[in-house]
Chain A
Amino acid sequence: MHGFANPKRFLALAKWLTPLLLVSGIVLSAIGLAWGVLNVPPDRLMGDTVRILFIHVPAAWLGMGGWTAIAISSLVFLVWKHPLASLAARAAALPGAVFTAVCLATGSIWGRPTWGTWWVWDGRLTSMLVLLFLYFGYMALAQAVAREGGSSRIPAIFGLVGAINIPIINRSVVWWNSLHQPPSITMGKSAIDPVFLWPLLIAVVGFSLLFGGIVLARMRALLADIQADARLRRKALGNEIA
Chain B
Amino acid sequence: MIHYFIGNLGHFFVIVSFVTSLVAAFAYWKARTITDVSTKQAWINNARIAFYAHTFAVIGVFVALFYIIYNHYFEYHYAYSHSSRHLPAHYMVSCFWEGQEGSFLLWIFWQALIGIVIIHTEKEWEAPVMVIFALVQAFLASMILGIVIPFADIRIGSSPFILLRDALDDPIFKIQPNFIPADGSGLNPLLQNYWMVIHPPTLFLGFALTLVPFAFCIAGLWEKKYSEWIKPALPWTLLGGAILGLGILMGGYWAYETLNFGGYWNWDPVENAVYVPWLILIASIHTMIVYKNNQTALKTSIILVISVFILILYSTFLTRSGILGDSSVHSFTDLGLSGQLLIYLLFFTVAAIVLAAVRWKEIPSSEKEASVYSREFWIFLGVTTLCLMGFQVIIPTSIPVYNSIVGLFGGTSNLAPPADQIAFYSKFQLWFGVAVAFLSGTGQFFWYKRIDKTKLKKELLTPVLISLIVFALIIAIAGVNEPSYMVLTLAGVYIIISNLKVLRSIIKVNPSLSGGALSHIGIGLSLIGIMFSSGYSNVVSLNNTGMLISTELSTEFNRDNLLLFINEPRTMAGYDIEFLGERIEAKNKWGYIKKNDIILTPDPYTVVAKRDIIYKDKKLYAEKDTFEIYPENTYYEIELRKGDKVEAVLFPRVQINEAMGGFVASPDISRGAVRDLYTHVSAPMNREAEVEWSELEEVTVKIGEQFFVNDYIAVLEEVNRLDEIQGVTLRTEDVAVQAKISVIGERETYYADPIFLIKDKTQVGRISSEINDLGVKITLLNIHPETNEFSLGLNARQKDWVIIKAMEKPFINLLWLGTGILMVGFTIAAVRRFKTR
Does A pair with B?
no
Task: Give the interface of B toward A (CB within 8 A).
Answer: none
